[in-house]
Structure 1
Amino acid sequence: MAQRLQFPLQMSFKLMAVAPQFLVKDARNQPVAYVKQKLFRLKEAISVFANEKQDQLLYEIKADRVIDFSALYHFTDHQGVALGGIKRRGMRSIWRAGFEVLDNGVTQFSINEKSVMTRFLDGLFSEIPLIGLLSGYIFHPAYQVTRPDGTLVAELTKRPALFEGLFTAEQMAPVNEREEQQLLLSLMTVLLLERTRG
């Protein structure tokens, strides 16, 4: 990453795409990344490009095993340099999504869903015919990123949208360059893993 990110970041899913993909723009409305998940892989694989042309690979995110609750998603840059990873916290995710961002096995950040009630109501309403189509406009899941000492570092929030996923990431506390990369890659991974929500 050539320069530091300018928050808030806007993340919007591309409509009518076969493979899940979304664009990330910064506070100046400039593209920061274009994220595309590869289809038909036993182990999930995600490519992060500099823009929608997909001509410059920035990062790769790869699961360490066939899809399951406890997969570890490894982050690498375009040269294959390891940048840590993210792991979902297993069965606790049924009620509130939770993730750990790791670097050499040490937790750097935790990402937790802000409201159990929002998750419950979103899941309930989305199953109701016709009315379920409005759940993405009514319920807005939010995810908080904290350090092990409890410091709030960032927050990812779903924005009202009927036919697309639209999210905003706000930074609450300073991070160094490596942490910024881990933060961006983690939030993008959470979006793809939680994309059917809201």
Structure 2
Amino acid sequence: MSQNYPLHFKFKIGTISNDFEATDDLGHSLFYVREKIFTWRDTIKVYRDSSKSELLYELVSNKLIDFQQTFTITHYTGRVVGKVRRKTLRSLWRSTFHLMDAIDRHDHTITEKNPWTKMWDGLFGEIPILGALSGYIFNPSYILRNQQGVELYELRKEPSFFGRKFTVHKLAATPVDEERFLLCLMLIVLVERSNG
């Protein structure tokens, strides 16, 4: 699964669902991601393209509420790709997610690069009229690291109204579990979209 980086995630506007398309730097469609709403548990479906005719992956939460929530990533064949667990207590200051492999071994972490961005965005967003511009001023980034602290990917929120655009930059040339990491970054986009 070798891609042309950076990758681009762009949300659709005007739909009742939380949908975005993932494309590579040449504009080729990679995935179409849809978060099911009005369900008891958070469920995210990843399709081959916007026709939604070929389901590739499902990400399903283990809990009804967002407290130590864990998403299991499953391939359409039933194979577990991995899991993502949100560390809620630490997330009050800095968003942190633990990535587990298929056998529940914690091997990577995604953390918010600069927690001050979230704080300033919250304050600025409360200012009448000007608060609507916070999406152009405060845009968080998230770093995916291995257990040795090596930075592998960076997810950046780009300036835009409604938090529509994100980019994924590959920071290390070493072979990595690209399938699992991209799915985890897609989940982070949906969970953290309202920040910045």
What TM-score do you get using the length of structure 2 for normalisation?
Answer: 0.95
| CA apart distance, 1:75 | 0.4
- Quick one: distance in 2 between partners of 1:176 and 1:79? 24
Deviation by residue 1:66-101 (Cα, 9 ceiling, x = unmatched): 122211100011111100110101111111100011
- Quick one: distance in 2 between partners of 1:175 and 1:183? 13
- Quick one: distance in 1 between partners of 2:96 and 2:182? 16
Distance 1:40 1:123, change over 3 A: same
Partner of 1:121: 120
What secondary structure sits across from 1:187 in the alignment? helix
Partner of 1:144: 143
Unaligned ranges ≥5, structure 2: none
Partner of 1:112: 111
- Decide whether the 8 Å contact of 1:146 with 1:153 is kept in 2: yes
**Within 5 Å, which residues of 2 pair with 1:5-16?**
5-16=3-14
- Quick one: distance in 2 between partners of 1:59 and 1:128? 40
**Within 5 Å, which residues of 2 pair with 1:17-96?**
17-96=15-94
- Quick one: distance in 2 between partners of 1:131 and 1:35? 31
Say if 2:168 is the partner of 1:169.
yes
The letter for the 2-side match of 1:46 is I
- Quick one: distance in 2 between partners of 1:194 and 1:175? 27
Q: Which runs of 4+ in 1 moved over 6 A?
A: none
What secondary structure sits across from 1:55 in the alignment? coil
- Quick one: distance in 2 between partners of 1:107 and 1:6? 28
- Decide whether the 8 Å contact of 2:110 with 2:145 is kept in 1: yes
Of 175, 180, 183, the residue aligned with 2:181 is 183
Unaligned ranges ≥5, structure 1: none
- Quick one: distance in 2 between partners of 1:191 and 1:172? 18
The letter for the 1-side match of 2:127 is I
What secondary structure sits across from 1:16 in the alignment? coil
- Decide whether the 8 Å contact of 2:163 with 2:194 is kept in 1: no
Distance 1:107 1:175, change over 3 A: farther
- Decide whether the 8 Å contact of 1:61 with 1:75 is kept in 2: yes
Deviation by residue 1:43-66 (Cα, 9 ceiling, x = unmatched): 100000111111111110000111
Identity of aligned residues (%): 34
- Quick one: distance in 1 between partners of 2:58 and 2:173? 24
Partner of 2:97: 99
